[in-house]
A and B are shown apart, each in its own frame.
Chain A
């Protein structure tokens, strides 16, 4: 089983709203990732969690706040977003963040900021 699940599938929020994206995997993977993807472009890495600790933050604005409550769950808290933040947000996981481990992606959350 290589399934990563994400909720919600679609999200529309205003610029003053606070919302959260959720990601879950039950493969025993110890690395989890958040990516942002614009249409017809490759995913852009936002955050990496390794063994439940934030290991990489790709200079993401503070209006995006990641959280890893346990080894199976990853959240992305959103606050005061801008319209340009509208994108497909992808979660991925891998057995480890080190070399040689494949990343498996979830189906994504389509976020629209109005």
Chain B
């Protein structure tokens, strides 16, 4: 079973602060996706990283895929209350057989940004 360990589980910060969320595994993933979910809504895809060492930026959000494709991070600069939500990392398995194509989710990070 491939596992994605996501940390921290909870993050409560003030507006304007920076933060980083980590996603780590002992397994290699062919790609990794980051989602943001608001209460009562479905996850919204933020970004997909595919290449080891890849860095992608989405406004104040910076996503990085580890060189070995076993870990990823999400960094938010100058957080705003609108960034509040559940952040999920999800990896695409490289294994064949019954796990092929499944998304393995991290446990999620609940971010609260206070005004």
The interface of chain A, by Cβ under 8 A from chain B, is: 2, 4, 6, 31, 40-43, 45, 48, 56, 88, 90, 92, 97-108, 110
Contacts and interface: CB of A to CB of B under 8 A. Distances in A.
Contact of B43 (A48, A56, A97, A105): A105
Judged by DSSP, the binding face of A is loop
A105 B93 CA distance: 19
A39 to B, nearest CB: 8
Nearest to B86: A40
Interface of B: 30-31, 33, 35, 40-45, 48, 50, 86, 88, 90, 92-94, 98, 100-103, 105-108, 110
A103 B33 contact: yes
Nearest to A9: B40
A99 B100 contact: yes
A31 B100 CA distance: 13
Contact of B45 (A40, A98, A100, A103): A103
Contacts of A41: 107-108
Given A40-B110, A41-B107, A105 B44 contact: yes
A88 B43 CA distance: 11
Given A40-B86, A40-B110, A42-B106, A98 B42 contact: no
Contact of A45 (B40, B102, B106): B102
Contacts of B98: 56
Q: 7 closest A-B pairs (Cβ-Cβ)? A: A42-B105, A105-B42, A97-B101, A107-B42, A105-B43, A108-B42, A99-B30
